[in-house]
Structure 1
Amino acid sequence: MAIPDRVITLDVEGNPPTSPYLKTGGNPATSATWSIPTQHDSDGQEVNLDQYLPLYRAAFSGNWEEASKFLDSHPDAAKARISDLSMTALHVAASEGHSEFVEKLVKRVPSDVLEMQDIMGFTPLHYAAIGGSPRSAKALLMENPKLAQCVDAKGRTPLLLAATFASENKELVWYFLLVTTDEAPGRPFTGDWAANLVNVLIASGFLEISLYLLHLYPELAIAIDQDDCTPLYVLASNQSYFLSGSRLGFWESCIYSFLPVEVHSRPPHSVRADVARYHGSIQNLLAMPTPEQYGVLHGLRRTLFGAIKRIAPDQFTRLHDAKLSHHYAFELVKRICFQLSQTHISWRFNRLLKSDILYIATVNGIVEIIRTLLESFPHLIWVCKNSTDQYLLLPSAIELRHEHLFRAVYDKTARSKLMATALPESRDTILHLAAKLAPLPQLSSISGAALQMQRELQWFKMVEKIVHPYYKESRNKNEETARELFTKEHKALAESGEKWLKDTSNSCMLVATLIATVVFAAAFTVPGGNDNEGAPNFLEKKSVIFMVFVVSDAVALFSSLTSLLMFLSILTARYAEEDFLYSLPRRLIIGLATLFFAIAATMVAFGATLSIVLSNKFNWVSTPITLLACFPVTLFALQQLPLFIQMVRSTFGRSMFRHKKLR
């Protein structure tokens, strides 16, 4: 006679894990129906789970005192299945993250109980791995090291689950990697889930662990998982892993290049010590090369970084970790390309072209991947095409506004000229692509609508230079020339740029007018007054300080008036498209620069005035006055300097489209 089953419906997020007991119906992403077999003891008698309810509650809440009392009166309960999901008390405590409870309970049960699996095939160690609990994992593995090799109903080891779900605990993943061996039934490094392991490690941000694993098992660099995904595809899908895909602020960009990093994918010393202490030997310890000696300059940079880090530890640590990740990701790409070079050419190009790796890397603007692939396989650039049989790299770099990619793939060669003149079915030339409005992420990386409009014009003008004159007036399928398309696409941006410039000019004019009024009046009411002949009283007595006042007052007046005229010219400009390229940015640069000089000179004049007036009785007043006068000037510089330098570089600096050879 068949044993009746209980049926429970569980609401879950995402796709629930498959199991021999899982029956799905309706929408599999929102609900799943589990057919739960009734629990029986060793004699085949049905077990009343209600008798274990106190133990379940104690394990669920981590109350060891209540659990200990129950186990004293029911010794066999420690290895009993106390829930409809065939979970033991150890399963429940580990799943809820009660590490202290787990540590005490493992000492009261036989080691084979630790290997018991619930309805999904999870051991308590699987739950500790998913929850990211190092204490529970170490306690379980100390009592039964074989747990690291146990697999769930899908064949997944605790290492794979930790890499998937415990992305916040890197040291736990290192720990599992060092205590896990490539043995049956899981074979985590060469079996069915090996490719998933390296892909999940990369996707979770464990780049140094991934690099370490590829040193151990080089063939994993080109392994393909169940979803037809490779490590290179995962890297190409994550922009933040590379410098070209990261959006650093002005000050972050200035600091980034000076940060010292030492790239070596080795387990942390604390993890190696734990493994050696608990397990005697490390299973997967590879003798990695030690970091190279970087010399005196690197030592000075490390010392300086350590000192500055104390000022803003969070910001500097985050930036340092980002730079370290960029180095690890680049090393992974190079190792993958090397492994690809060992494969047959037909397999290699099928994987690269049919898996959309190049397309994803191009869309995300990850130049490191594109450049490394082209350096390893130069002829790949001729076969990089999209679904419309159009060359991929150059048009995509223009349409998506990836200037780093543009510099990497374009030069004045026959290949570039052929790619520039290839027409797709839509009849859009690359000039039409440059005429389209840039994607929002690219626009938002530039401050101010006016500068955004300038950058769009720079793209259009640059592409216009490389397009053959025959195609400049060609029309697309909508019968629009590139210039007509540019005007239509950028109409709203031009209006926003006009409004931004006018608002900025009005605000700055108010400050410039105030400064001009004050310093003009100060020129006729000099400190100390005038004598009977109209000469300043301090002209001879305080000649040096008085001359500082006179010069700074004159500089402030002339600078403020110049700034006022520049901002006035912006307000009265015609705001044609071409004006956003040079005319308007140039006026704004001159206006901001002279306004800064006016503010600085005003503060100097103010400090000189107070020094003259108060020096007879308060000689010490000069130092604090100087420091206080520097504060508003420094504050203004810190706030406006990033925008100012960006404008200067964009208007007067070297072209961002300067050619850059790959080799």
Structure 2
Amino acid sequence: MEIEEENCLDNLFDLTMKNKWNKVEEAYKKYPSARRAKLTKSEETALHVAVSSYHSKRSSNYEHHIEGMIRSIPKDERFKILSMKNDKGNTPLHLAATVGWISICKCIAERNPELISTRNLKGETPLFVAAYHGKLEAFIFLHGHYNQKPVQQTDQQNKGQEPDESLCRREDGNTILHSAISGEYLKLAYQIMSYYPKLVNSVNVEGESPMHVLGRKANLFRSSTHFRLHDSIIYRCVFVDKLKKSPSPHKSMYSPRNGVNCPENYKTCIGIFRLFFIPIHESIRAGLEKITRHCCSNDEENPPKREKEPQTGLEKHSKQHGGSNDEENPPKREKEPQRFWRIRRIQEKKERHSHALQLMNEMIESELRYKYNNTGRKPEHLEPQYSQRVPPPPIPPSNQ
């Protein structure tokens, strides 16, 4: 039995490198030493390697085997195995948050919620790592799961329902808001401002606030972008949505959304619109297909394509020296996707500019509130008190 276990450990590295996770899962279930074995020079276990090799386009069987590895760990040694760190101090939950693997984050965090507060050598928690790499869904899940623990809810009741900000800062003083803005993850930065409003006025060891970081990102604002005339017209015509706080951070990641994402009072109007529009649309499309087939069958100038015939030397010579107009006049079908792509790029730029401006305005507003609440300064928008007082009479002229 011991010889068989030693042979399995010797082959475990090869199995992980070849992505044979079904056999790795079997070894995880059968041999306890396979769960604790560090396979690489960076002191990573098989679970570290499995999580770090994640790709969104891989099959669901791969994810099923990784979840099976986690479930197979006995309860009495679950925390010890899942809290094992590599040479950088990262646990498997750190790596899952880095790549944004929601299901593995959920699988680990539900078994040991305290792992969300584990720090690596840089002092980063999995929550911080998710924000640093711009993984919005992973960040929202970890934030919601940690702040919904019973122990955490008891602490929040004593603190006035304020979220725990201790997980949001690393050793150099940078917060998750610093990191999100530095990486230009504006949607994530807005969610962080919504959940942790006090981080807007936080500073790192160099005395920089998130507003300083945003101010250095000149490319995020309209003034740094120059458009040609027709592009500027498109820029003014496209519409972008404003940033909004996620209403249910803990449940929205796993509740499937069917239909149109709109308010409840709009669904009736959309249903009536679909009732009339879909039959009309199907009729028009069927008619266009029929007309197209009829035109193609009767078109003498554009006969159907035939198989390629062998070219003579004269034809090849004429094509090489500009005898063909295919390159000079490409078909319109090739130009249309480029036009849509161009409009999409302009819309993305406007969205980035709009979101950056919205973040800046809310940071300035938060800064004014912070100064008033903490320095005692009088806000400018308030009217002066005791306005009913009568002004004093003028000083009488002196008699000389």
Under a length normalisation based on structure 1, what TM-score does the superposition of the two structures give?
0.36
Please give the alpha-carbon distance, in whole angstroms, between the structure 1 residues aligned to 2:341 and 2:250. Answer: 24
Maintained 8 Å contact 2:165/2:196: no
Please give the alpha-carbon distance, in whole angstroms, between the structure 1 residues aligned to 2:139 and 2:17. Answer: 25
The verdict on how the C-alpha distance between 1:132 and 1:227 changes in structure 2, with shifts beyond 3 A counting, is farther
The verdict on how the C-alpha distance between 1:320 and 1:271 changes in structure 2, with shifts beyond 3 A counting, is farther
The verdict on how the C-alpha distance between 1:175 and 1:323 changes in structure 2, with shifts beyond 3 A counting, is farther
Maintained 8 Å contact 2:42/2:87: yes
How far 1:270 moved relative to its partner? 9.8
Please give the alpha-carbon distance, in whole angstroms, between the structure 2 residues aligned to 1:213 and 1:319. Answer: 26
How far 1:273 moved relative to its partner? 2.7
Matching residue's letter, 1:339 = S
Maintained 8 Å contact 1:179/1:275: no
How far 1:220 moved relative to its partner? 1.5
Matches of residues 197-208 of structure 1 in structure 2 within 5 Å?
197-208=176-187
Please give the alpha-carbon distance, in whole angstroms, between the structure 2 residues aligned to 1:159 and 1:83. Answer: 26
Please give the alpha-carbon distance, in whole angstroms, between the structure 2 residues aligned to 1:144 and 1:246. Answer: 47
Equivalent position of 1:320 in the other structure? 347
1:56-94 per-position Cα deviation (integer Å, ceiling 9, x unaligned): 232233211332453455243123444454432111211
Maintained 8 Å contact 1:115/1:123: yes
Matching residue's letter, 1:247 = H
Equivalent position of 1:89 in the other structure? 46
Matches of residues 487-636 of structure 1 in structure 2 within 5 Å?
none
Maintained 8 Å contact 1:149/1:186: no
How far 1:261 moved relative to its partner? 1.9
User: What secondary structure is seen at the aligned counterpart in 2 of 1:188?
Assistant: helix
Which of 244, 257, 260 does residue 223 from structure 2 map onto?
A: 244
How far 1:310 moved relative to its partner? 8.5
1:138-157 per-position Cα deviation (integer Å, ceiling 9, x unaligned): 33334434332222233211
How far 1:197 moved relative to its partner? 0.9
Matched, 1:213 2:192: yes
1:421-453 per-position Cα deviation (integer Å, ceiling 9, x unaligned): xxxxxxxxxxxxxxxxxxxxxxxxxxxxxxxxx
Equivalent position of 1:262 in the other structure? 241
Which of 119, 128, 138 does residue 172 from structure 1 map onto?
A: 138
Please give the alpha-carbon distance, in whole angstroms, between the structure 1 residues aligned to 2:98 and 2:143. Answer: 15
Maintained 8 Å contact 1:102/1:139: no
Please give the alpha-carbon distance, in whole angstroms, between the structure 2 residues aligned to 1:343 and 1:163. Answer: 24
Matches of residues 328-407 of structure 1 in structure 2 within 5 Å?
328-342=355-369
Maintained 8 Å contact 1:49/1:83: no
Equivalent position of 2:396 in the other structure? none
Please give the alpha-carbon distance, in whole angstroms, between the structure 2 residues aligned to 1:268 and 1:50. Answer: 52
Maintained 8 Å contact 1:149/1:181: no
1:264-289 per-position Cα deviation (integer Å, ceiling 9, x unaligned): 32339898433579xxxxxxxxxxxx
User: What secondary structure is seen at the aligned counterpart in 2 of 1:125?
Assistant: helix
Which of 146, 154, 157 does residue 122 from structure 2 map onto?
A: 154
Matching residue's letter, 1:152 = N
Please give the alpha-carbon distance, in whole angstroms, between the structure 1 residues aligned to 2:366 and 2:249. Answer: 32
Matching residue's letter, 1:102 = I
Give percent identity, aligned residues only: 22
Which of 64, 67, 71 does residue 103 from structure 1 map onto?
A: 67
Please give the alpha-carbon distance, in whole angstroms, between the structure 1 residues aligned to 2:184 and 2:141. Answer: 16
Please give the alpha-carbon distance, in whole angstroms, between the structure 2 residues aligned to 1:246 and 1:50. Answer: 61
The verdict on how the C-alpha distance between 1:254 and 1:176 changes in structure 2, with shifts beyond 3 A counting, is farther
Equivalent position of 1:118 in the other structure? 86
Worse-superposed segment, 57-66 or 87-96: 57-66
Maintained 8 Å contact 2:221/2:357: yes
Instruction: Extract unaligned runs of 5+ from structure 2.
Output: 56-61, 156-163, 257-262, 267-335, 382-400
How far 1:200 moved relative to its partner? 0.7
Maintained 8 Å contact 2:21/2:66: no
The verdict on how the C-alpha distance between 1:200 and 1:274 changes in structure 2, with shifts beyond 3 A counting, is same
The structure with higher relative contact order (CA 8 Å, sep 6+) is 2
Matching residue's letter, 2:86 = D
Which of 5, 12, 17 does residue 55 from structure 1 map onto?
A: 12
Alignment size in residue pairs: 271
Maintained 8 Å contact 2:123/2:170: no
Maintained 8 Å contact 1:128/1:136: yes
1:358-406 per-position Cα deviation (integer Å, ceiling 9, x unaligned): xxxxxxxxxxxxxxxxx99xxxxxxxxxxxxxxxxxxxxxxxxxxxxxx
Equivalent position of 2:33 in the other structure? 76
Which of 208, 228, 238 does residue 207 from structure 2 map onto?
A: 228
The verdict on how the C-alpha distance between 1:80 and 1:236 changes in structure 2, with shifts beyond 3 A counting, is same
User: What secondary structure is seen at the aligned counterpart in 2 of 1:266?
Assistant: coil
Please give the alpha-carbon distance, in whole angstroms, between the structure 1 residues aligned to 2:345 and 2:137. Answer: 18
User: What secondary structure is seen at the aligned counterpart in 1 of 2:166?
Assistant: coil
Equivalent position of 2:317 in the other structure? none
User: What secondary structure is seen at the aligned counterpart in 1 of 2:175?
Assistant: helix
Maintained 8 Å contact 1:106/1:143: no
Worse-superposed segment, 180-189 or 227-236: 180-189
1:295-319 per-position Cα deviation (integer Å, ceiling 9, x unaligned): xxxxxxxxxxxxxx98854333332
Matching residue's letter, 1:314 = W
The verdict on how the C-alpha distance between 1:227 and 1:105 changes in structure 2, with shifts beyond 3 A counting, is farther
Please give the alpha-carbon distance, in whole angstroms, between the structure 1 residues aligned to 2:170 and 2:125. Answer: 11
Matching residue's letter, 1:114 = L
User: What secondary structure is seen at the aligned counterpart in 2 of 1:119?
Assistant: coil
Please give the alpha-carbon distance, in whole angstroms, between the structure 2 residues aligned to 1:243 and 1:334. Answer: 15
Matching residue's letter, 1:134 = I
Please give the alpha-carbon distance, in whole angstroms, between the structure 2 residues aligned to 1:341 and 1:97. Answer: 44
The verdict on how the C-alpha distance between 1:341 and 1:268 changes in structure 2, with shifts beyond 3 A counting, is closer
Under a length normalisation based on structure 2, what TM-score does the superposition of the two structures give?
0.57
The verdict on how the C-alpha distance between 1:273 and 1:87 changes in structure 2, with shifts beyond 3 A counting, is same
1:106-151 per-position Cα deviation (integer Å, ceiling 9, x unaligned): 1211342222223332110111222343343333334434332222
Equivalent position of 1:631 in the other structure? none
